[in-house]
Structure 1
Amino acid sequence: MAHVYAYGLVCPKAAGVIHLGATSCYVTDNADLVILRDALTSIRNSVYAVLSSLSAFAERTKSIPTVGYTHFQSAQPVTIGRRACLWLQELWLDVDELNDALSAIRFLGCRGATGTEASFVSLFNGDTEKIDELNRRIAADFGFERIYDVSGQTYPRKLDSRVLNALSSIAQTAYRFGDDIRLLQHDGILSEPFESKQIGSSAMAYKQNPMRSERICSLSRFVITTALNAPLTASTQWLERTLDDSANRRIALPESFLATDAVLRIMANVARGLVVHEQANARILGDALPFLATENLLMAAVKKGGDRQQLHEIIRKHSLAAKERMSQGEPNDLANRLAEDAGFPLSLEEIRLELDPNKHIGRSIEQTDRFLRSHPVPPSEALSDILV
């Protein structure tokens, strides 16, 4: 009411009719719908910025073989760029969620205390066409083509649930990305950017902690858990209106948008500055590849007349011995062990041919090229870095 009084002082002629037939939700809910639309559009721009940086990284690294991981155990090789496409694909799914949420937003309009427009029926002397035209004009002035067919005093709080679910979806992708970077940085395969004057640890001067990725994960966890507020609020709306949504929404909605914005800005910074340690990556792949190539070695040996079961036992025995040796800090000598075994028909040169990483990455390069071609990134406004 203080605002109504203040507006009346500024415009005395309108003082007697300002807010006539309206409720506070006429102002706040319609304003919230404008804010939600614009905020989702801003978040989508930020996602596009991350997509642009990650797509460039995928293109740059699409031909670099690396160890694949399942259960965080060494598995069939991929390429670094192909792995980046996993992150990219999830971000594109998030764009779909954002677009769905944006398409769901409609305007509330002037609906009155319980949504029946009874006050406006009185004001317009029963002319319902004027009421419909009023709502169309107000909606159009704020850039909306549709209004909700029916409502209580507020717009359906189910929309808040859809909006926060879209933000949660982004946070889930970002969390996965941040966790993957932390794991890969631990192994020395790649690392997030680290500034020349940056301090990794106040106690251990040598450390280069993945603090950006850690912050991505921390803030993403906040967004994911905060999103639970919206469905709880939507499911407890009594009849035409209850007010226990108000305080919760004032925290959950803006804080989720602010945190998601921060996550995407940090993610864009990391994506732009990712460093691949190619020599370390090649060493790690080289240690794992003799084990990962054993099926290929088995098939090649059978083609030279060997017995599949006997060859399998030879490979198993030498693999265990090579693993034991590696556990003592020694390099992987499986190739030499097999070549020196009289029961294994492949020479060391033939074995090494089978250990060419490019023989084991499948269609990684082709899949990366196809993915990037089929997912062109729309132009986006540049994001300023934020390290919070």
Structure 2
Amino acid sequence: MIPRYTLPEMGALWTDQAKLATWVEVEILACEAHHELGVVPAEDLAAIRKGEPPTPERVSEIEATTDHDVIAFLTAFAETIPGAEREVDAPADTGESTADGEHPSRWVHYGMTSSDLIDTALGATLARATDLVLDKADRLVAVLKRRALEHWHDVCVGRTHGVHAEPTTFGHKLAQFAFAVDRGRTRLRAAREAVAVGSISGAVGTYSNIDPFVEQYVCEKLGLGIEPVATQVVARDRHAELLSALAMLGASVEQLGTEIRHLQRTEVREAEESFGSGQKGSSAMPHKRNPIRSERLVGIARLLRGNAVAAMESIALWHERDISHSSTERVVLPDSLIVADYQLDLARKVVEGLRVDPERMRVNLDATGGLVVSSRVLLDVVDRLGVSRDAAYEVVQAAAMRTWESGRPFRDTLAEEGVELDEEALAPERFLERHHVVRERLEALEP
């Protein structure tokens, strides 16, 4: 992912050096498990622990010959491991290594295949990265809840099909996004559990050359579950679940961004993104204040959806394994987590800095001359005149259409139909008499 959309903590997880460090972590844990089984001598384990993650440059140099990234890594890692010092081979104070055939690095990757290393390390990285995204989601829920409660009583018009409908409040608008992000993080928590697995079961997953204890030990130390039936690789529906959860969460953020973009339109102007001192909206038009951050939220959601499709395409592998998924995942897994992390952080900043204009909301609410209360007027006519709903609908609609076409107040056109209503009956606040029920649900939402 390009640096523009990469936050430092998330980006640090996906560097080549971080990947090699996690690979070293897995290999050392596997050696520890083999030591517990009596396979790796204590002296050799101590030497292996002194090994350091090789540099990406050294691995690339070796890979230019091997054309195999894991073998290149193993070779480079072995170069950092000092030779074991054994009393039977040399005096303890000479510092001489054992013979080449007994170099401690022989225990590294013992009984393992490449996918054991790659997928187990990937499971650890995905879990760590998802935790960062979940933290951002928690923060977004918290700010949406806070600002929804702040604007709970700011009455504005609700819109369906882009057309004025009934009165609502700006707090209600923000509350729906708080719950949408909350549902998204619930799905993401489940997806984290799905991808936080490892497998160290050898070629085609039968444990033919490795004790299952090694897998159990390594995964437990890394906080991972175990793939119950590995076919040399961890099942890729897990990764598709993660990217699908990210895409759905991103779509909820997209909905928030789309709403803000509409509200910031010149004709509406009920809310707008913050506009800082020195900020410029257009290279040509000095007056411009554009919802660029909200537009960015929308664009990122498109990336997340596309990557989710790519992950689904990677579920069906040939037989026990192939690597058609590998090239795809090298791009879509880090990119999705990086931009999801960025998107949620940006959304939080947008909501925190959002400028809300209750007076403009009232102007827009009154713009149609009272038509936004037509549904309550309909019920009032049914109740007061004792006529059928269809008959009442014809009366109210006739008055409403004249208001639409002439701009005359709805109260006046109703009077022409013989429906006399006082100001209280036409007050938008009548629609919010039971609104406290929704507020109570919001107050109970865990940030």
- Common fold: TM-score over 0.5: yes
The answer to whether the aligner puts 1:73 opposite 2:181 as a matched pair is: no
The answer to whether the aligner puts 1:355 opposite 2:391 as a matched pair is: no
1:148 and 1:196 mapped to 2: Cα distance? 53
1:301 and 1:155 mapped to 2: Cα distance? 65
- Contact 1:301/1:344 (<8 A) preserved: no
The match for 1:279 among 359, 375, 383 is: 359
Distance 1:283 1:114, change over 3 A: same
* Code of the aligned partner of 2:213: E
Q: Deviations over 1:291-311 (max 9, x none)?
A: 122343355456655877887
Measured after TM superposition, the shift of residue 108 of structure 1 is: 2.4
- Contact 1:189/1:278 (<8 A) preserved: yes
Partner of 2:284: 203
Q: Deviations over 1:101-132 (max 9, x none)?
A: 12223532321121111122xxxxxxxxxx23
Q: Deviations over 1:51-99 (max 9, x none)?
A: 1110011101111111111112111211111121211111111111111
Distance 1:316 1:139, change over 3 A: closer
The answer to whether the aligner puts 1:242 opposite 2:322 as a matched pair is: yes
Partner of 1:128: none
Measured after TM superposition, the shift of residue 268 of structure 1 is: 0.6
Measured after TM superposition, the shift of residue 223 of structure 1 is: 0.8
- Contact 2:121/2:198 (<8 A) preserved: no
The match for 1:189 among 265, 270, 282 is: 270
1:167 and 1:64 mapped to 2: Cα distance? 32
SS of residue matched to 2:442: helix
Partner of 2:410: 334
1:116 and 1:345 mapped to 2: Cα distance? 81
Partner of 1:137: 217
Paired residues for 1:152-167 under 5 Å: 152-167=231-246
Q: Deviations over 1:311-364 (max 9, x none)?
A: 7655444433322234xxxxx52223444x3x5252xxx432222121023533
* Code of the aligned partner of 2:337: F
1:143 and 1:305 mapped to 2: Cα distance? 69
Partner of 1:38: 128
2:307 and 2:384 mapped to 1: Cα distance? 61
- Contact 2:373/2:427 (<8 A) preserved: no
- Contact 1:90/1:173 (<8 A) preserved: yes
Measured after TM superposition, the shift of residue 5 of structure 1 is: 2.2
Partner of 1:29: 119
Partner of 1:217: 298
* Code of the aligned partner of 2:161: H
2:240 and 2:291 mapped to 1: Cα distance? 32
Gaps of 5+ in 1: 121-130, 327-331, 378-388
The match for 1:49 among 120, 123, 139 is: 139
The answer to whether the aligner puts 1:344 opposite 2:402 as a matched pair is: no
- Contact 1:78/1:362 (<8 A) preserved: no
Measured after TM superposition, the shift of residue 239 of structure 1 is: 0.8
Gaps of 5+ in 2: 1-70, 84-102
- Contact 1:157/1:234 (<8 A) preserved: yes
Partner of 1:17: 107
1:27 and 1:37 mapped to 2: Cα distance? 16
Distance 1:305 1:89, change over 3 A: closer
The match for 2:250 among 164, 171, 175 is: 171
Q: Deviations over 1:214-254 (max 9, x none)?
A: 0000111111111101111102x011110111111000111
- Contact 2:264/2:270 (<8 A) preserved: yes
Distance 1:362 1:289, change over 3 A: farther
SS of residue matched to 1:53: helix
* Code of the aligned partner of 1:290: G
| Greater length-normalized contact order (CA 8 Å, ≥ 6 residues apart) | 1
Distance 1:241 1:306, change over 3 A: closer
Share of identical aligned residues, percent?
24
SS of residue matched to 1:76: strand
The match for 2:403 among 322, 328, 331 is: 322
- Contact 1:106/1:148 (<8 A) preserved: no
2:400 and 2:106 mapped to 1: Cα distance? 89
1:245 and 1:303 mapped to 2: Cα distance? 65
2:299 and 2:424 mapped to 1: Cα distance? 45
* Code of the aligned partner of 1:182: R
Q: Deviations over 1:256-288 (max 9, x none)?
A: 111111111110111111121111100111124
Q: Give the structure-2-normalised TM-score.
A: 0.74
* Code of the aligned partner of 2:252: T
Matched positions, count: 354
Partner of 2:78: 8
2:230 and 2:138 mapped to 1: Cα distance? 34
Partner of 1:251: 331
Distance 1:175 1:299, change over 3 A: closer
- Contact 1:304/1:345 (<8 A) preserved: no
Distance 1:26 1:77, change over 3 A: same
- Contact 1:306/1:344 (<8 A) preserved: no
